Amino acid sequence: MIHDDKHLTGLVINPQHIRKVANEWAKIGKGDSIPYVLAFGVPPAAILVSSMPIPEGATESEYIGAICGEPLPVVKAELSDLEIPAESELVFEGVLNINNLVNEGPFGEMHGYVFPGTGHPCPLYTVDVINYRDEAILPVSNPGLCTDETHTLIGGLVSAELKNFALNHPILSKIVMDVFTPYEAQALWAAFKINTKELVKLNTTSVELRKLFGDLYFETKIASIIHEIVLVGDDIDIFDFRKFFWAYVTRHTPDDDQTFFHKVPAFPLAPFISNGPRIKSKKGGKVVTDCLLPKQYQDPDFSFTTCDYSSYEAKLQQKINDNWSAYGFKS
């Protein structure tokens, strides 16, 4: 966010790399002034990776190269040894002072709110140099109600990483079929589609499964933006919000089928955190909600029929559609 004609301010928080770099900078005795480069209009792959919860220890430039199959072209910064994507449209250079705090906000965030008169103390970026291409294009993303780039990029990429984490876990890999952060939930929910036949083989309980998911995910960077994990059966298309939300409201008893996690890191940008008492501790407010029916833990053959138009036999559906056409309506 612009502070004045020569300064910016913005979040420098865990678990983001910028906070970790700042911590390492201080740890080796370099002080609280850190050289930075802010690049606008970078290649799409760079934007993609910047939104990803990439593995610990990996650098974004190397990750971009791995995705593209070739190194990202870079040039040296003017004021430091930092490297910049060569195709950038606009580049700011200067120093980040981690302990010089100024107010950031109000700012319209990915959850769709602006709270006038509010702000948070954030570190100050001094802009010493600005370089740009001829007829440079300044890219703009205007976050708000779904769906925009924050939900499709951040949410979609988090979904992929949540699934990848499950596929590499000895227990979750047996039951997790797919993962998605529904756009309508502003990337605060993560829906997990569970293989119910394999679930029975685990001989587990809802309480145990909820605890497993929360313990595994809520301490990770991958799920840092997620405040509710929702488990649903394999009859639900988690990419269809109508069906997913139907399962959510009809298949869990509030509190009874939920496990709350009060000590895990909260996402401070979530409005109920930033404007609530938990902003002081930045802890908790996360939950695993189980929308699997009790019998789905015990009986691999347990089944039910969905009372919906699509559940009627095809012959009857066709007859109804034909009648509507005969009445003059489009089927």
State how far the Cα of 147 lies from the Cα of 143, in Å rounded to an integer.
9
Is the same domain home to 83 and 185? no
State how far the Cα of 196 lies from the Cα of 176, in Å rounded to an integer.
9
pLDDT of residue 15: 78
Is the same domain home to 166 and 267? yes
Lowest mean pLDDT across 206-210, 242-246, 300-304: 300-304
What is the DSSP annotation of 210-240?
HHHHHHHHTTSSTTTT--EEEEEETTS-TT-
Q: What is the pLDDT of residues 263-312, one digit of tens each?
A: 999 999 899 998 899 999 999 999 999 999 999 999 999 988 777 777 78
pLDDT of residue 150: 77
The answer to the question of residue 253 being in a domain is yes
- How many other CB atoms are found less than 10 A from the CB of residue 279? 14
The answer to the question of residue 228 being in a domain is yes
The answer to the question of residue 142 being in a domain is no
The answer to the question of residue 242 being in a domain is yes
Is the same domain home to 289 and 237? yes
The answer to the question of residue 143 being in a domain is no
CA distances from 293 to 156, 199, 257, 261, 316 (A): 27, 12, 10, 22, 30
Question: What range defines the domain where residue 276 resides?
Answer: 149-311
Domain count, the chain: 2
Q: Which residues are catalytic?
A: 109
Q: What is the pLDDT of residues 29-76, one digit of tens each?
A: 887 889 999 999 999 999 888 888 887 778 888 889 998 999 999 999
Give the angle subtended at the CA of 248 by the CAs of 246 and 250, to the nearest 5°: 65
Higher local confidence (pLDDT), 144 or 67 = 67
What's the mean pLDDT when you consider all of the chain?
91
pLDDT of residue 331: 58
Q: What CATH number is associated with residue 292?
A: 3.40.1670.10
**Model-level pTM?**
0.85
Strands across the sheet containing 120-132? 2-4, 7-9, 120-132, 90-104, 33-40
pLDDT (mean) for 178-183: 96
pLDDT of residue 148: 76
Tell whether the model's pLDDT for residue 108 goes beyond 80. Answer: no
Is the same domain home to 153 and 121? no
Q: What CATH number is associated with residue 96?
A: 2.30.110
pLDDT of residue 307: 76
Which of 132, 158, 183 is where one domain is finished? Answer: 132
pLDDT of residue 1: 83
pLDDT (mean) for 172-196: 97
pLDDT (mean) for 245-258: 97
Tell whether the model's pLDDT for residue 90 goes beyond 80. Answer: yes
Is the same domain home to 80 and 178? no
Q: What percent of the chain has pLDDT over 70?
A: 100
Residues 6+ apart with CB under 8 A from 44: none
With contact defined as beta carbons under 8 Å apart, do 192 and 179 qualify? yes
What is the DSSP annotation of 60-79?
HHHHHHHHHTSPPPEEE-SS
Q: How far apart are the first and last CA of the chain?
A: 51
CA distances from 188 to 34, 159, 192, 215, 305 (A): 32, 11, 13, 17, 30
State how far the Cα of 176 lies from the Cα of 212, in Å rounded to an integer.
13
Is the same domain home to 120 and 165? no
The answer to the question of residue 325 being in a domain is no
State how far the Cα of 166 lies from the Cα of 172, in Å rounded to an integer.
5
The answer to the question of residue 221 being in a domain is yes
Question: Amino acid letter at 74?
Answer: V
**Token pair of 45, please?**
């792959």
Tell whether the model's pLDDT for residue 4 goes beyond 80. Answer: yes
